[in-house]
Structure 1
Amino acid sequence: MRRKAVVILPGYADHSIERAGLAPFGLSVDELDWNGDRAAMADGVRDAEIVFVRDVPLDASVIAAMERCRGIVRYGVGVDTIDLVAARSRGIVVTRVPNYGAEVEVADHTLALFLAVRRRIVSRDRDVRKGAWLVGQAEPIARIAGSTAGMIGFGRIGQAVAHRLRSFGVRRFLVHDPYLKPEGLPADATLVDLARLAQESDLVTLHAPATAENRHIIDAAFLARVKPGAILVNTGRGPLINEQDLAAALKDGRLLGAGIDVFETEPPLRSPLLAAPNVVLSDHAAWYSEATVENLQRGALEQAVQILETGTASERVN
């Protein structure tokens, strides 16, 4: 039987890195286009020894079909879309690629969304194309320098965002992160609860993983406390926000605007944010650059090779 690894599509434009790296082990690399048919996915991974997956959920039924699998390698950090218990019960290593340099791109994208909302870039572009001119005073724009940023999650990405915001004159950072202690923060950052973060922040940015505990951490109660004129940016995980509540807060003016890169359901065909005012949207693209894709694929290959050579991996999560 032909030995193989499988990339569950959508993957990336080219998988020559994985093919070259697994060839010495006698594995070919197939790209599995399952066309939305879970049964076809299960059949396609049945005899794969390594399964590479990006954002497609792998539930217990698909994992149960993996008769020869030694490892599932997630292109990225989060593994909340993979049934870890089902994989462990079948002796399948689940691993990931946490350090592929995406904090650079995600931090840049966070700032891009914030600036697009704060400086009203998208609405200005639309208005100018319609013939409008000198509309600045009709839509006030607050100065960024001297403002306060609220950071929900302050790991590598949150800290990279803070570094960029300092160059715009943001003077203090209110941090909500259960994994940090006060002595681990820079001098201009303070650990606070969500209520204070909402009440005092001019910008709220989300950089936390999606967990059962923080699902809908941004909800009607949080939004009722937000500082008037605040902006919210999410380049973390979609389930952190109750989209109905956020859309309502935008429509009634409690928030000035929002920049959203991730959604509860992707693509967000029925998201209420599509019709909300002063929202800049992107397509879960904050992590992307050609450099991060190459780093991600090389990191995924390294994890696969470790599984083939040793039966485990340095970034194993189960």
Structure 2
Amino acid sequence: MTHPVSSHHHTRDGDRAPVAVVIDAGYDQHTIEEDILKPYGFRVIERACHGDAAAVVEAVREADAVLVRESPVTANAIDEMKHCRVIVRYGVGVDNIHRRRAAERGIYVANVPDYGVEEVSDHTLALLLSVLRRTAARDRAVREGMWNVARREPMHRIAGRTLGIIGYGRIGAAFHRKVSTLGFSETRVHDANGGVLPYGAVAADLDELIARSDVISLHLPLRPSTEKMISRERIAAMQPGTVIVNTSRGGLIDEESLVEALQSGHLGGAGLDVFADEPPAPDHPLLSTPNTVLSDHTAWYSEESVAELQTKAAQEVARVFAGEAPKHWVNRWD
């Protein structure tokens, strides 16, 4: 449903052209956004804020639309906006945007939840296989002149084991489709939305899934209700040798407890694309923890997914300036 936007957002200074501010441009160019927004008279400008909340306040003050990656769009930044009608997150998670304050001011917040599904599910599978088959460790060993030392790090057959998937949105479902060919004897799914599961998947209580799965993959957003949901107690309840894969948000896991469980050998390994704080500090214990495969929050990335993301983010701005509500409106006030 389209909601009439507060009148103060329609104020224009004479012939002032609307401005779309891209915070922390992470892309080679913004011709995609410029082409999509050209019919609405937009100028697209980039502002590097590097996570600095005060810099964001200054960058967005005159913006009619804001496109943002990780930098915080705080209540203060929203209060200072003179013209803004829509804030779009380049990506899925919107925990860096003060959605409630934006709603109070009649400013839409939208995200792009349906890009990179193939990439993230591919990357999850790659991390899973790399941990279970220890390919990163084998690569290092060969380069260091070691040969036939695999049995120092025992591996186990994938077929016949139990998979647990926590979160079953687009990415969780795509990952399940791809991983289902590996021969897991059982797939347990915990999904807060309670959607219909395909053949071969069984709905499970979270703690039951954690206690009975050999491999656990996380596919859900970071919210107050999910922060550190993989807690010290839940890690302790996992079967010895369990492997965890996380391509969602680092804050879902109690990292300190994860490190301890990996170091003690209680857990069999972890494949992580995300960390509680990014990038992790050079002395972060996960960087030297055994049988971890780590990547730099790049599960979402491919050349194709970047273009898709830029296109869909700009289309949300265009919808608002065409008098519609965003397709993926995440701070609804009606």
What do you get for the CA RMSD once the two structures are aligned? 1.5
Structure 1 length as normaliser, TM-score? 0.95
Q: Distance between the aligned counterparts of 2:41 and 2:277, measured in 1?
A: 38
CA positional deviation for 1:199: 2.3
Q: Which amino acid aligns with 2:298?
A: A
Instruction: List aligned pairs for 1:16-27, cutoff 5 A.
Output: 16-27=31-42
CA positional deviation for 1:258: 0.2
Secondary structure of the residue aligned to 2:179 is helix
Secondary structure of the residue aligned to 1:43 is helix
Q: Distance between the aligned counterparts of 1:25 and 1:196, measured in 2?
A: 52
Residue in 1 that maps onto 2:131: 117
Measured against aligned partners, the alpha-carbon deviations of 1:38-86 in whole angstroms (never above 9, x if no partner) come to 3332112111101001122211111122111111011122212110111
Identity %: 46
Instruction: List aligned pairs for 1:2-17, cutoff 5 A.
Output: 2-17=17-32
Instruction: List aligned pairs for 1:89-100, cutoff 5 A.
Output: 89-100=104-115
Instruction: List aligned pairs for 1:61-100, cutoff 5 A.
Output: 61-100=76-115
Structure 1 unmatched ranges of 5 or more: none
Instruction: List aligned pairs for 1:1-318, cutoff 5 A.
Output: 1-100=16-115, 102-180=116-194, 184-269=196-281, 271-310=284-323, 312-318=325-331
Secondary structure of the residue aligned to 1:310 is coil
Contact 1:70 1:311 in 2 (8 A): no
User: Which stretches of structure 1, 4 residues or longer, exceed 6 Å deviation after superposition?
Assistant: none
Contact 2:117 2:170 in 1 (8 A): yes
Contact 2:53 2:73 in 1 (8 A): no
**Number of aligned residues:** 315
Q: Distance between the aligned counterparts of 1:186 and 1:130, measured in 2?
A: 45
Q: Which amino acid aligns with 2:180?
A: R
Q: Distance between the aligned counterparts of 2:66 and 2:34, measured in 1?
A: 13
Contact 1:171 1:188 in 2 (8 A): no
Q: Distance between the aligned counterparts of 1:25 and 1:33, measured in 2?
A: 24
Q: Distance between the aligned counterparts of 2:214 and 2:241, measured in 1?
A: 7
Q: Distance between the aligned counterparts of 1:256 and 1:82, measured in 2?
A: 36
Structure 1 pair 207–89 and aligned structure 2 pair: CA distance change class (3 A) = same
Q: Distance between the aligned counterparts of 1:141 and 1:78, measured in 2?
A: 35
Measured against aligned partners, the alpha-carbon deviations of 1:113-143 in whole angstroms (never above 9, x if no partner) come to 0111111111111111111111122211101
